[in-house]
Structure 1
Amino acid sequence: MALTASNMLPLGTKAPDFSLIDTKDDQIKSLIGHKGITGTLVMFICNHCPFVIHVNEQLVALANDYKAKGINCIAISSNDVEHYPQDGPELMRQNALVNNYPFPYLYDETQNVAKAYDAACTPDFFLFDADLSLVYAGQLDDSRPSNDIPVTGKDLRIAMDHLVNNTSINPKQKPSMGCNIKWKN
């Protein structure tokens, strides 16, 4: 595991479109087809990363809390499954069921979507407004598996609350930290 920080895609960047297989139901899901009326949170996660495992419960709570407020969440796994088979589609489906993911869990087999988003780590968060312009690219909160700080989702929740209330989101954002995305050779 290599501790990696997110690349901090510039605010205002338009969300790259995608169509990927949802491992939960084997249906193709697109960004446009799943975007929220208020905003869309695109999360790069995977099954085996201890940083993602550490925040899974909060990701579910966050998605459930903000769906009624018009923010849809989408999770994407882009890891190389040849070298990391625990992140393959069938195990993604099982993980989504065990954790009660209320959002699609998409498989980025080509890794083209992760590259388009300049995603670097798991978890990596990209919050877009109703027009799919990036308003937040940062951490969930200060909690990490190695510290005793509770997982609250504070940083991301503050950004989502500002989006819901149509108020300015602080442009000073802390990068997410986690395992590096496992790129194919």
Structure 2
Amino acid sequence: MLIDAEGYLIQARYIPSPNCDERPDRNDISLLVIHAISLPPEEFGGEGVIELFTNQLDPQAHPYYQALEGLKVSSHFFIRRNGEIIQFVPCTRRAWHAGVSCWQERTRCNDFSIGIELEGSDNQPFTPMQYTRLTELTQAIQAAYPVHDIVGHADIAPQRKTDPGPYFDWQHYRQTLEKRITHD
């Protein structure tokens, strides 16, 4: 996989989100934040996440959506359960994925991070294809930017968030990432 100079993953489907802006320092991209999301909760394969990130979510379409009305959020990438990667925001811009957050005494993690949403929840394992695509995407990001820390949303906002949740296999992900680095 390859990320071009403008911050687009060549292999991704691009659906632009309006929920982004300029980074304070375009060269300060040092953190990767892994999230999990499903809309409606625990349901996969629908258009809810895309609609949320593009401000097209109908609050009447599902009772859960009413609590999300007016929410302006996005992520750089979304990895579906089948491995499809959708990009919403170029890596060179700030996506609105982390909210109130702090990592290693730095606040406003959106300023210096790339956000990846996995289609999933706290209650179900992720798919093997998601781990494969996440590893490939991580390598592409690390080749393009000086990302040295990889964390979950819960690590940067522990009072508010639990994702990617207890079913995310950090050990497998890190081992796969290290294995691919040593073999490439």
TM-score, normalised relative to structure 1: 0.29
Q: Which has the higher contact order (CA 8 A, sep 6+)?
A: 1
Q: TM-score, normalised by structure 2?
A: 0.29
